[in-house]
């Protein structure tokens, strides 16, 4: 039915061309005679945007009139990537655009690549939020995303002399996908003090006054669903000085600098995304960002609810708020404040509403990523919120005491306030206490949080409060958009692109796992994708790689727990092995290209050292004539969403090799398998469920299990551990300056040799290299390899973010889809 839906704008190629020309000439005020690719991108985007706007307005109106429950997804990160290609595919008119642009003299790929990524996130958590928005719209759920409109997204990474250099990512020069709402502005208060008094009627009143005000301005981004006219909204807040102007008096008296100071201070709040992934630094500006965004979003949500004139008790029937990690946890406190201080509800009544409204998703067990804020900092910035937190904690600890009267030490363990010096607010504990459901993002992870970091809370609230929702990815972007040829081949075999909306239909592919002709086409597509990546490698690094070699890819944020260091040590081991071989022996080897990519947090020195080592090894290996095509080592600069769309379809094997129990889920593992690549990985995160779905013959698992990690760490620290001999040789080579001055890499080596090898590289190294040998062997049998990849793709249905969103909707949000009108 959606196909009959006709929005304003274009429906034919000719219409589309006319719209493009109109936008070039009138919107952009340029002539078609000097319409370059930038202008063509702008005009084509605006043509699609016009269509989206119509759908978007109708969807919002319909959601408002139907008065049904909405889900609000609060995330400090939305790693959206590019919007144009996605809009074309979701609206369903990419062919028209391709032909139309060709008529005008442009290739669609060149136009698509004009767009700057919207990179408002660090890694997995931010990209998950973006996949969720796509699924919620595609499944017709009434949903809004709320985030911050950073002026600078995640920095652009350049590699200079083998080192990472960070360059600011200013992305807003031309962004047709956002709509400033200058009429939607919320005053946000910081600092000040709290005054309490009793009215003549004996009512307690609390006033938070003084301090400073900053304005939050809304910017809206349309989120089109796939093959539906439903178009949801992502609202991003931008900060602005309350006065809106700089101080004229100061300006006129010659004090130029301080005249703009207030304005700059205010604008700083939404200026930049914190580039730390899984690492908490407790900076005041970040807490300001969090409150600014949470307070503006809640004001907006509450205002919308109040228009419905319902009783407050119905709030949780109209509103579900999902907290993407603890970053928005202040929303719990803010809603309680609104209800008690501003709306005059009783504490208990409010608290019931609050806890029924919120759900909290945990994305990590790493202690260094668990947010804590110092009480003095809180006291200064948000004095009333701190009082409310103490009050929440008091009632919570009373409950604990009633339930476990004999366990005095339990109170200190679960207290929202950590009795340290200074005292700290434990945000995860606050999020648990203030939510009705807490979920992890893969089965192992959800089990781990229940048995480790949150185990006391399972006793207190019972096991039903804790659940699992295994992550997923949107097949629209990560299959159809990233790998159009594969998507078309699949569609041609299993009766159309229905699998893009019901990924389990991929099952039908399994019958072709031994089909000769099909396998040939399948392999050709993989090869073409590798050729494309090889070209990119050539132009960006100058290194020639053989597309027939095994492409081994590890792309993700650089982190010790993800163990890129183990990968590069494995590469060095391979290099040493090749060097020690005779020419005859070398002939039997499978050529391999080891590809790395990912950003290191600017302050994470160890991660930066890993990047430096990868580049230093590449500089030696790639020019060693003994090695030739047998081994190439590549570091891809500036890994981001749009590059991932090129990289994921080009792997033969990808690496997901975190220390067991540390990677909550991982989602790139899903992207690589869905694009016909195999995995080498540890028994961690979603790797375990991927194995269960695709079968253990189709994945290369290795390494110690999560349950053994504690004992192994103990063994390192108390001396009963011998280093792996192959790893020792790798370290010897490094120490002999084989890859440049060994001093530069000393910290990487001594973390393992001298400092307890916390991530168990030495323990897993043998198993890792052995398994890599199995990969080599398996790759030689191309026929079997291809069958494995087909079977794997056929069994990936479970990992659609549609399945994931439906689980959230049913088990956490209690919300139903709202289909758009058949004819728009
Ligand atoms: C507190 C702070 C600085 C912070 C900032 C970003 C803490 C954590 C993060 C980001 C965490 C993150 O990206 N976690 C990843 O979430 C993915 C989606 O659930 C998982 O697949 C992945 O395993 C996990 O590391």
Least confident of 38-47, 258-267, 506-515, 795-804: 258-267
What is the full DSSP assignment across 732-797?
HHHHTTBTB-GGGGHHHHHHHHTS--TT-HHHHHHHHHHHHHHHHHHHH-HHHHHHHHHHHHHT-G
Looking at CATH, the fold of the domain delimited by 67-82+117-470+808-813 is given as Rossmann fold (3.40.50)
Residues known to be catalytic: 363, 556-557, 562, 667, 671
Cα 220–chain centre separation? 20
CATH number listed for the domain at residues 546-783: 3.40.50.2000
Report the pLDDT averaged over residues 140-148: 98
Going by the DSSP 8-state scheme, the letter that residue 563 receives in this structure is T
The C-alpha atoms of residue 154 and residue 123 are separated, in whole angstroms, by: 10
Q: Which residues 6+ apart lie within 8 Å of 616 measured at CB?
A: 162, 739, 740, 744, 745
- 381-406 pLDDT, tens digit per residue, is 999 999 999 999 999 999 999 999 99
Closest CA to 591 of 611, 621, 569: 621
* 182 close to 203: Cβ distance less than 8 angstroms: no
* 437 close to 811: Cβ distance less than 8 angstroms: yes
Q: Hey, what's the torsion of the CAs at 81, 85, 86, 90, to 10 degrees? A: 180
Tell me the CA–centroid distance for residue 331 and ligand 1, in Å.
19
What is the enclosing helix (H) or strand (E) of 277? none
The C-alpha atoms of residue 207 and residue 264 are separated, in whole angstroms, by: 28
Instruction: Output the six-digit token pair for 679.
Output: 């995995």
- 595-610 pLDDT, tens digit per residue, is 999 999 999 999 999 9
- 400-433 pLDDT, tens digit per residue, is 999 999 999 999 999 999 999 999 999 999 999 9
Compute how many other C-beta atoms are within 10 angstroms of the C-beta atom of residue 765: 25
The C-alpha atoms of residue 572 and residue 590 are separated, in whole angstroms, by: 16
Tell me the CA–centroid distance for residue 339 and ligand 1, in Å.
31
The interface predicted TM-score (ipTM) is 0.98
| Average pLDDT of the chain to the nearest whole number | 96
pTM score > 0.80 for this model? yes
The C-alpha atoms of residue 339 and residue 347 are separated, in whole angstroms, by: 8
Going by the DSSP 8-state scheme, the letter that residue 800 receives in this structure is B
Checking if the pLDDT of 17 tops 80, the result is yes
pLDDT of amino acid 736: 98
For the chain, the distance separating the N- and C-terminal CA atoms, rounded to the nearest angstrom, is 9
pLDDT of amino acid 244: 61
The C-alpha atoms of residue 30 and residue 24 are separated, in whole angstroms, by: 6
The residue whose CA has the least distance to atom 12 of ligand 1 is 125
pLDDT of amino acid 4: 43
Checking if the pLDDT of 275 tops 90, the result is yes
Closest CA to 428 of 468, 371, 366: 371
Ligand 1 pocket test, candidate residues 663, 664, 690, most atoms within 8 A of CB? 664
* 672 close to 597: Cβ distance less than 8 angstroms: no
pLDDT band at 704 (very low <50, low <70, confident <90, very high): very high
Tokens 């022996």 belong to which residue?
585
Looking at the chain, how many residues does it have?
Answer: 824
> Is residue 35 left, alpha or beta, with left meaning phi > 0 and alpha meaning psi from -120 to 50?
beta
pLDDT band at 442 (very low <50, low <70, confident <90, very high): very high
Q: Which residues 6+ apart lie within 8 Å of 768 measured at CB?
A: 566, 570, 657, 702, 703
The C-alpha atoms of residue 735 and residue 11 are separated, in whole angstroms, by: 65
The residue whose CA has the least distance to atom 11 of ligand 1 is 278
Checking if the pLDDT of 475 tops 50, the result is yes
* 432 close to 438: Cβ distance less than 8 angstroms: yes
The minimum-distance atom of ligand 1 relative to the CA of 686 is: 21
pLDDT of amino acid 262: 83
The residue whose CA has the least distance to atom 3 of ligand 1 is 280
The residue whose CA has the least distance to atom 1 of ligand 1 is 280
Tell me the CA–centroid distance for residue 564 and ligand 1, in Å.
17
Ligand 1 pocket test, candidate residues 154, 278, 684, most atoms within 8 A of CB? 278
Q: Which residues have CB under 6 Å of ligand 1? A: 122-125, 128, 276-280, 325, 363-364, 369, 371, 441, 471, 663-667, 685
Checking if the pLDDT of 250 tops 80, the result is no
The minimum-distance atom of ligand 1 relative to the CA of 327 is: 1
pLDDT band at 697 (very low <50, low <70, confident <90, very high): very high
If one compares 682 and 91, the residue with the highest pLDDT of the two is: 682
201-223 in b/e form (b: 16+ CB < 10 A) is: eeeeeeebeeeeebbbbbbbbbb
pLDDT of amino acid 260: 81
Checking if the pLDDT of 530 tops 60, the result is yes
SS3 content of the chain, % helix, strand, coil (to 5): 55, 15, 30
Cα 776–chain centre separation? 32
pLDDT band at 198 (very low <50, low <70, confident <90, very high): very high
Q: Residue 196 forms beta bridges with which residues? A: 206
Checking if the pLDDT of 6 tops 70, the result is no
Checking if the pLDDT of 761 tops 60, the result is yes
Closest CA to 657 of 617, 687, 636: 687
For the chain, residues classed under CATH 3.40.50.2000 are: 67-82+117-470+808-813, 546-783
Percent of the chain at pLDDT > 90 equals 93
* 87 close to 38: Cβ distance less than 8 angstroms: no
């Amino acid at each position: 039915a959606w196909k009959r839906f006709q929005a304003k704008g274009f429906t034919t190629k000719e219409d589309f061309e006319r719209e493009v020309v109109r936008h070039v000439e009138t919107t952009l005020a340029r002539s078609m005679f000097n319409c370059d690719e930038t202008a063509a991108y702008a005009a084509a985007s605006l043509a699609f945007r016009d269509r989206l706007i119509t759908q978007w307005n109708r969807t919002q109106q319909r959601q408002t009139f139907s008065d049904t429950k909405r889900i609000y997804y609060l995330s400090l990160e939305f790693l959206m990537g590019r919007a144009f290609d996605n809009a074309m595919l979701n609206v369903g008119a990419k062919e028209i655009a391709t032909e139309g642009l060709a008529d005008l003299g442009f290739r669609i790929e060149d136009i698509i690549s004009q767009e700057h990524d919207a990179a408002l996130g660090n890694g997995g958590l931010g990209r998950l939020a973006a996949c969720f928005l796509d699924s919620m719209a595609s499944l017709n759920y009434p949903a809004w995303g709320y985030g911050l409109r950073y002026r600078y997204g995640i920095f652009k990474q350049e590699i200079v002399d083998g080192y990472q250099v960070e360059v600011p990512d200013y992305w807003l020069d031309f962004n047709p996908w956002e709509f400033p709402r200058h009429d939607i502005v919320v005053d946000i208060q910081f600092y000040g003090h709290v005054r309490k008094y009793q009215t003549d009627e004996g009512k307690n009143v609390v006033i938070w006054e003084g301090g400073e005000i900053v304005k939050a301005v809304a910017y809206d981004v349309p989120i089109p669903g796939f093959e539906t006219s439903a178009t949801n909204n992502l609202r991003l807040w931008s900060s602005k000085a309350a006065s809106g102007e700089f101080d004229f008096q100061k300006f006129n008296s010659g004090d130029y600098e301080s005249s703009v100071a207030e304005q700059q201070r205010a604008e700083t709040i939404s200026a930049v995304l914190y580039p730390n992934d899984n690492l908490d630094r407790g900076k005041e500006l970040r807490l300001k960002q969090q409150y600014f965004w949470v307070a503006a979003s809640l004001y907006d949500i509450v205002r919308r609810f109040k228009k419905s004139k319902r009783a407050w008790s119905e709030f949780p029937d109209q509103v579900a708020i999902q907290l993407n990690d603890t970053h928005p946890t202040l929303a719990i406190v803010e809603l309680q404040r609104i209800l008690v201080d501003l709306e005059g509800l009783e504490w208990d009544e409010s608290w019931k509403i609050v806890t029924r409204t919120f759900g909290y998703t945990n994305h990590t067990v790493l202690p260094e990523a668990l947010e804590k804020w110092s009480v003095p900092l809180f006291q200064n910035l948000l004095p009333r919120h701190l009082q409310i937190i103490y009050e929440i904690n008091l009632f919570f600890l009373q409950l604990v005491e009633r339930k476990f009267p004999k366990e005095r030490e339990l109170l200190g363990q679960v207290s929202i306030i950590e009795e340290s010096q200074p005292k700290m607010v434990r945000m995860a504990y606050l999020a648990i206490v203030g939510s009705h459901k807490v979920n992890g993002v893969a089965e192992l992870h959800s089990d781990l949080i229940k048995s480790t970091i949150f185990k006391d809370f399972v006793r207190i609230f019972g096991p039903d409060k804790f659940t699992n929702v295994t992550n997923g990815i949107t097949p629209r972007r990560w299959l159809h958009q990233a790998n159009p040829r594969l998507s078309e081949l699949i569609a041609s075999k299993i009766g159309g692109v229905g699998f893009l909306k019901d990924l389990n239909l991929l099952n039908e592919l399994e019958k072709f796992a031994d089909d000769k002709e099909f396998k040939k086409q399948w392999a050709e597509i993989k090869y073409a994708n590798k050729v494309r990546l090889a070209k990119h490698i050539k132009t960006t690094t100058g290194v020639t790689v053989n597309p027939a070699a095994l492409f081994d890819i590890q792309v993700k944020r650089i982190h010790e727990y993800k163990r890129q260091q183990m990968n590069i040590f494995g590469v060095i081991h391979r290099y040493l092995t090749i060097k020690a071989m005779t020419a005859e022996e070398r002939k039997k080897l499978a050529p391999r290209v080891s590809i790395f990519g990912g950003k290191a947090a600017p302050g994470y020195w160890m991660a930066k050292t890993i990047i430096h080592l990868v580049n230093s090894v590449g500089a030696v290996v790639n020019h060693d004539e003994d090695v030739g095509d047998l081994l190439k080592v590549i570091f891809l600069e500036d890994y981001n969403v749009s590059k991932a769309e090129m990289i994921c379809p080009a792997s033969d094997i990808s690496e997901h090799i975190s220390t067991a129990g540390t990677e909550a889920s991982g989602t790139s593992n899903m992207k690589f398998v869905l694009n016909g690549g195999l995995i080498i990985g540890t028994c961690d995160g979603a790797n375990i469920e991927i194995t269960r779905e695709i079968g253990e013959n189709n994945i290369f698992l290795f390494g110690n299990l999560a349950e053994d990690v504690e004992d192994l760490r103990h063994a390192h620290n108390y001396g009963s551990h011998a280093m792996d001999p192959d790893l020792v040789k790798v370290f010897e080579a490094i120490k002999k300056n084989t890859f440049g001055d060994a001093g530069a890499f000393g910290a990487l080596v001594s973390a393992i040799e001298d400092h307890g090898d916390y991530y168990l590289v030495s323990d897993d190294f043998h198993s890792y290299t052995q398994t890599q040998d199995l990969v080599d062997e398996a790759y030689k049998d191309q026929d079997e390899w291809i069958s494995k990849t087909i079977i794997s793709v056929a069994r990936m249905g479970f990992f659609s973010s549609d399945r994931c969103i439906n689980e959230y909707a049913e088990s956490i949000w209690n919300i139903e889809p709202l289909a758009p009108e058949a004819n728009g």
